[in-house]
């Protein structure tokens, strides 16, 4: 009976707390994205003429932004991690698992960087061998500038994953918090319950 009463109290506290903060941030981000998309569509409707090649150049800049964002996420260890099994391992087993997973991830990033580098080398050769080839329309900028983002970002991420693998093997993987992997959903759930309890006590 006491357990049922406690469960009802927790449910009431969660309901009073409202949605977690990250849901509100995601909703605001979605609204901003929709607003920006609507503004772009309005500008395209109002000004149908544009600079030839500007869209491809903008997509290249977007590729750079995405690749640099992925590199920053890897540096801050905010990349996607499937750690449901790792959390159940004992501390002695987590170190070799972290080493192997980091090395495998680094090897995959190195493979992608190698393939992208081969593509980049082909584009540079074509651009250097033929005059006026491999350039954006109306812009004296080679198209391989956009391709350069892929091998650069994946090479940096691969080096970081290997470095983290060695460090986690020596000192142990982070348990959570600012230096942990991703977002700890269990910790977030406890924080939501604590906020609900604080609001209940204040009221």
Find all residues with CB under 8 Å of 164, minimum gap 6, and list them. 77, 98, 102
Pick from 146, 144, 160: nearest CA to 109: 160
CA 66 to chain centre: 9
Q: What is the pLDDT of residue 33?
A: 83
pLDDT at position 177 is 44
pLDDT at position 156, please?
A: 93
Phi, psi for residue 112 in degrees, rounded to 5 = -65, -40
pLDDT at 58: 83
pLDDT value at residue 153 = 93
Low-confidence residues in the chain, pLDDT < 70: 1-23, 47-51, 81-86, 175-203
Tokens standing for residue 114: 């190698």
In which residue are the tokens 């061998």 written? 129
Interatomic CA distance for residues 68 and 110, integer angstroms: 16
Terminal Cα-to-Cα distance of the chain (whole angstroms): 26
Whole-number pLDDT of residue 161: 92
- Quote the pLDDT of residue 3: 45
Give the pLDDT of residue 179: 46
The full length of the chain comes to 203
d(CA 115, CA 110): 9
- pLDDT score of 2: 44
């Amino acid at each position: 009976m006491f357990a049922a009463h406690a469960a009802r109290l927790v449910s009431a506290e969660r309901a009073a707390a409202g949605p977690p903060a990250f849901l509100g941030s995601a909703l605001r981000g979605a609204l901003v994205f929709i607003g920006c998309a609507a503004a772009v569509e309005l500008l395209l409707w109002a000004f149908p003429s544009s600079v030839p090649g500007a869209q491809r150049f903008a997509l290249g800049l977007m590729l750079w932004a995405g690749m640099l964002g992925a590199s920053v996420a890897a540096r801050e260890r905010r990349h996607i991690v499937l750690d449901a099994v790792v959390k159940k391992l004992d501390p002695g087993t987590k170190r070799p698992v972290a080493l192997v997973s980091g090395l495998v991830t680094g090897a995959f990033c190195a493979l992608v960087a190698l393939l992208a580098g081969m593509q980049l080398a082909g584009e540079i050769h074509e651009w250097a061998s033929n005059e006026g080839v491999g350039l954006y329309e109306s812009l004296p900028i080679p198209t391989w500038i956009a391709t350069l983002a892929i091998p650069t970002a994946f090479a940096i991420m691969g080096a970081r994953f290997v470095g983290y693998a060695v460090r986690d093997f020596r000192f142990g993987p982070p348990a959570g918090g600012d230096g942990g992997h991703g977002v700890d959903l269990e910790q977030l759930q406890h924080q939501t319950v604590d906020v609900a309890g604080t609001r209940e006590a204040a009221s």
